[in-house]
A and B are shown apart, each in its own frame.
Chain A
Amino acid sequence: ILNVEQSPQSLHVQEGDSTNFTCSFPSSNFYALHWYRWETAKSPEALFVMTLNGDEKKKGRISATLNTKEGYSYLYIKGSQPEDSATYLCAFPGVMEYGNKLVFGAGTILRVKS
């Protein structure tokens, strides 16, 4: 059974703080690692799909790194803003018997106070 772990479970930061959180996944049979942002009352939105060891992707103030050998990915937010408040989910593609089957972590809830 695939296990995807995210830490911390929740995080409260002040506006302007930089923050980061972790996603751990099985290091064997790696294909891709997905990050999603889920704001309250909205649908989850894809941030990054990472495929290469050592890969770093960036979208505005948000960036992510990937270590496939040790099975972890970090998501960084520089200068957090209240609009960054959301649940951040990572997901790992399961065995591809039928389609793109993702296994999700429980998420990291980020709250940014102004």
Chain B
Amino acid sequence: DGGITQSPKYLFRKEGQNVTLSCEQNLNHDAMYWYRQDPGQGLRLIYYSQIVNDFQKGDIAEGYSVSREKKESFPLTVTSAQKNPTAFYLCASSILRERNQPQHFGDGTRLSIL
């Protein structure tokens, strides 16, 4: 079955540590996204990528980095510069440049501070 796989499901970060969240899709979608969810807020866009080796900052990119070396993969690194990383992170993908096509989501990763 086609879909998006995020791992791990739960992740703990120590102070000063970088951690990487994995996102893999086999939907053959060109566009991939990372969102962050905090209680009582909508999903906020961190980074997005429309093509391999290209990505753009979203609304809350500070303290995060991404790479897009393969079409299927869009890992997100939460760096030590992100002072409030505790949140739920969702990865999504969609057909490129089609605003009337839905996004497909993974199951998410919950990141907490030790």
Tally of contact residues, B, Cβ under 8 A? 30
The tally of CB-CB contacts under 8 A between chains A and B is: 70
Query: In the complex the two chains form, what is the Cα distance from A45 to B106 in whole Å?
Result: 10
The answer to whether the Cβ of A111 comes within 8 Å of any Cβ in the partner chain is no
Are B102 and A34 neighbours in the complex by a CB distance under 8 Å? yes
> Smallest CB–CB gap between A33 and chain B, Å?
10
Interface of A is mostly: loop
Report chain B residues within 8 Å CB of A41.
107
Other-chain contact of A101, B4, B40, B48, B101 (Cβ < 8 Å):
B48
- The 8 A CB mask of A48-88 against B (1 = contact, 0 = none) is 01010000000000000000000000000000000000000
- Beyond A43-B105, A104-B42, whether A99 also contacts B4 by CB under 8 A is no
The answer to whether the Cβ of B99 comes within 8 Å of any Cβ in the partner chain is yes
Report chain A residues within 8 Å CB of B90.
43-44
- The 8 A CB mask of B39-58 against A (1 = contact, 0 = none) is 01111110010100000101
Report chain A residues within 8 Å CB of B58.
101
Are A107 and B42 neighbours in the complex by a CB distance under 8 Å? yes
The 10 closest A-B pairs by CB, nearest first: A46-B102, A93-B99, A104-B42, A99-B50, A43-B105, A104-B43, A106-B42, A99-B31, A32-B100, A44-B105
Binding site for A on B (CB under 8 A): 4, 31, 33, 35, 40-45, 48, 50, 56, 58, 90, 94-108
22 residue pairs A–B, Cβ–Cβ below 8 Å? A43-B90, A43-B108, A46-B102, A46-B103, A49-B100, A49-B101, A51-B100, A91-B43, A93-B99, A96-B97, A98-B50, A99-B97, A100-B99, A101-B33, A101-B45, A102-B43, A102-B45, A102-B103, A103-B42, A104-B35, A104-B44, A105-B42
